[in-house]
Amino acid sequence: MTTLPLFFLLPSILGAVLAGFVCSTMGTFVVRMNLSSIGYCMSHAAFAGAAFGILISIDPMISAVLFAFATALVLGPLSEKARLESNVVIGFLFSVMIALGFIFLSLKPGEAATGRALSILWGSLFSVNYDNVLLLSLLSFALLVFVIVFYKELVAVMFHRKLAESAGINTKMFYFAVLFFTGFAVALSLKLVGGLLVFALIVNPTSTAYQFFYDFKKIMIISPVIGILSCLLGFYLSLIADFPIGAAIVIVSATGFAVSLIVSPKRKKGFFLKSKQKLDSSYK
């Protein structure tokens, strides 16, 4: 096991907690809106952006945010307006983004195989600094305010978009807001988790929480808790086993999801029948 002083690890630990929070909070919306593929596409856009940053020698995080942001800008109207299967649009953008990422890296001689470039792909334990922590903190705060202030609208949109619209809610605004926040969450978590795996941090914790609760509010609370725990445990696993941090976080969150599938009360045989019988008897 690598032994390092705490002050050296502190930015990474804080980064892991905040990345776990923002990614898995966005996961509650992304999973419910069946936007899993869109988030997957966005994580690769952030990867392409980071590679572009390396190519033009600017901070890769700035270009990653810009690429993810631009993808959110394009994806929203494209998935709304284009009369194409959403999977076709996403598949197209995803492949373009990963191709761009590799081209950008290959254009910088000597960079393609360096640790700096590869860390964009699978994250790095020590690449997180206090600037990243500050940005993630600001995003976490903005996300928290967004969820608290617009909770009733978000529940309505998550339940059924057309019904929410029929009740006088501007659903497009919330749909785009979810895309933007997802873009930011992905881009800012890229350094820690890596472009290829950051999306698992969005989907796995939420999918785990979904196995236990019927109340959206509880899922909104538990999903970030699972996300944060996955990141911290993944961080520890990375330290003791010397695994890449992104891979370690994904293994932990995926294991959590697999276990949740086995023990989920929602999936137990006869669960619905039993609960129905219990309810019927309570009304006799």
Partner 1 sequence: MEKNPAIVDLHQVDTIYEGEKIPVIHDINLTVKKNDFLSIIGPNGAGKTTLLETINGILSYTAGKGKVFGKQIKKHKNSIRKHTGYVIQNFEIEPRAPFLCKDVVMSGRSGKIGLLRFPTKKDWDIVWKSMGLVGMIDYANRAVGKLSGGEFQKILLARALAQEPDLLLLDEPFSNLDFSARNQIEILLNRVHDQYKTTIVMVSHDLTFLPTRCNRLIVMDKGSIVMDDTKDNVLQSDLVHSLFPKGGKQ
In the complex, the residues that contact partner 1 under the rule CB under 8 A are 32, 83, 149-150, 152-153, 155-156, 158-160, 162-170, 210, 213-217, 219, 266, 272, 275-276, 279, 283
Q: How open is the CA angle 195-196-198, to the nearest 5 degrees?
A: 65
Measured distance CA(172)–CA(265) in Å, rounded: 34
Nearest CA among 186, 190, 180, 184 for reference residue 203 = 186
CB of 170 to partner 1, least distance (A): 7
Looking at the Cβ atoms of 8 and 83, the one nearer to partner 1 is 83
**Shortest distance in whole angstroms from residue 219 CB to partner 1:** 5
Please, what is the minimum distance in Å from the beta carbon of residue 157 to partner 1?
A: 9
Residues 50, 224 contacting (CB under 8 angstroms): no
3-class SS shares of the chain: helix, strand, coil, % to 5:
80, 0, 20
Calculate the alpha carbon distances from 134 to 5, 137, 140, 164 in Å. Answer: 21, 5, 10, 35
Which residue, chain included where needed, has tokens 């057309």? 162
Shorter beta-carbon distance to partner 1: residue 95 or 170: 170
In this complex, which beta carbon is closest to partner 1, that of residue 95 or of residue 275? 275
Contact 75, 218 (CB under 8 A): no
Structure tokens at 126: 């020590």
Nearest approach, Cβ of residue 65 and partner 1 (Å): 27
Task: Give the nearest distance from C-beta 267 to partner 1 in angstroms.
Answer: 8
Considering the complex, what minimum distance in angstroms separates the CB of residue 94 from partner 1? 25
Tokens linked to 254: 């995926």
The nearest distance, CB 276 to partner 1, in angstroms, is: 7
Q: Which is nearer to partner 1, 92 or 159 (CB)?
A: 159
**Start-to-end CA span in the chain (Å):** 62
Decide whether 1 or 279 has the Cβ nearer to partner 1: 279
Going by the DSSP 8-state scheme, the letter that residue 196 receives in this structure is: T
When the beta carbons of 113 and 215 are compared against partner 1, the nearer one is 215
CA-to-CA separations, 46 to 68, 156, 184, 205, 258, in angstroms, rounded: 5, 30, 9, 21, 28
63 vs 206 by CB, closer to partner 1: 206
> If DSSP codes are grouped into helix, strand and coil, which group holds residue 158?
helix
